[in-house]
Amino acid sequence: MTDRTLADARRWVAHGTHLCRDALVSLDEADFGQPSLLKGWTRKHLAAHLAANADAVGNLIRWARTGEPTPMYSSLEQRADDIEDGARKSASELTNWFDQSATALGSAMDGLTPAQWAAEVLTAQGRTVPASETPWMRAREVMIHAVDLGTGVGFADLPADFLTALVTDIVGKRSAAVDGPALLVSPSDLDLSWTVAGAGDATEVTGSLAGLTAYLAGRADHDARGPDGARAPDLPRWL
């Protein structure tokens, strides 16, 4: 497994942004009001989240550029309110917000110097990371939620190098939390495996790389299976 780079993450941001935008412009007002693949959220909620997240990541880019602490959100309540308020917007308003926030974020990232990319910022989860981690944070959002919009994009449509990086990231987070079952994850279409630390003896889980990524990310539509084709173990949230 190779480490992902800043250039990789920025490439994935562009790819995921394109997938999301194609999905959004394919929907009419009625389609936007339909459920997304995330429980309890319509596509409007998800579009609002994507747009607000670009603004929030942009706050961290501003922090890195200026040195002035600028949190992603003023509070978790503000994050939730932004999504609920956004879900009341029209389809065209949401698409425009997504476009504007994504474009502004890309321009802000373009303007950072190498020293500014190394500056430390604080994520909404309270992690201190270099600003160079923010494109990966955004890439996860646009890639995964391009699937969650439910317009036909699946994990199998995402780049294999992104899926590999995402599995590595999720495995690290699940192993650090140690609040789920121990797993040995082996994709059938790739000569790699990952070990997830957790409770009990490790259960071997197999499937396609795309299916295992969906499973580890907590999505229901996957081909991951345990030994002898049994159902893969249920997992807690990872993010």
Which contacts (CB < 8 Å, 24+ apart) does range 193-198 have? 194/167, 194/168, 195/171, 196/171, 198/174
Q: Are residues 112 and 184 in the same domain?
A: no
8 A C-beta contact, residue 236 and residue 180 = yes
Q: Report whether 44 contacts 35 (CB < 8 A).
A: no
pLDDT at 189 exceeding the cut of 70:
yes
- Are 95 and 32 contained in the same domain? yes
Q: Which residue has the higher pLDDT, 34 or 74?
A: 34
Note the pLDDT tens digit of each residue in 14-24. 999 999 999 99
Q: What gap in Å lies between CA 173 and CA 169, rounded to an integer?
A: 6
In a domain, 63, yes or no: yes
Domain boundary among 131, 153, 175: 153
What's the pLDDT score for residue 1? 45
Same domain, 193 and 141: no
78 and 171 assigned to the same domain: no
Cβ-Cβ contacts under 8 Å for 138 (sequence gap 6 or more): 9, 13, 16, 53, 54, 57, 105
Confidence of residue 239 (pLDDT cuts 50, 70, 90): confident
CATH code, domain with 217: 3.30.1050.20
- The whole-number pLDDT of residue 3 equals 81
Residue 236 resides in a domain? no
Q: How confident is the model at residue 198 (pLDDT cuts 50, 70, 90)?
A: very high
Q: Contact at 8 Å (CB) between 224 and 212? A: yes
Whether 234 maps to a domain, the answer reads: no
Beta partners for residue 71, in sequence order = none
Q: Average pLDDT, stretch 205-227?
A: 97
Whether residue 182 sits in one domain with residue 87: no
On whether residue 1 sits in a domain, the answer given is: no
Res. 212 pLDDT band, cuts 50 70 90: very high
Is 51 contained in some domain?
A: yes
Alpha helix (H) ranges present in the chain? 6-25, 29-32, 43-66, 76-86, 91-110, 114-117, 134-148, 160-177, 209-216
Quick one: 14 and 67 in the same domain?
A: yes
Contact (Cβ atoms closer than 8 angstroms) between residue 61 and residue 131:
yes
Question: Whole-model pTM?
Answer: 0.96
Give the amino acid at 180: G
| Amino acid type, 158 | L
Does any domain span residue 170? yes
CATH value at residue 17: 1.20.120.450
pLDDT value, residue 80: 93
State how many domains the chain has: 2
Cβ 28 vs Cβ 99: under 8 Å: no
Domain boundary pick from 103, 137, 153? 153
- The reported pLDDT for the residue numbered 230 is 96
Q: How confident is the prediction for the chain on average, in pLDDT?
A: 96
Q: State the residue range of the domain holding 175.
A: 160-229
Identify the residue whose tokens are 């110097």.
113
Residues 170 and 107 in one domain: no
Of 102, 123, 153, the residue at which a domain comes to its end is 153
* Residue 237 included in any domain: no
134 and 182 housed in the same domain:
no
Is 239 among the domain residues? no
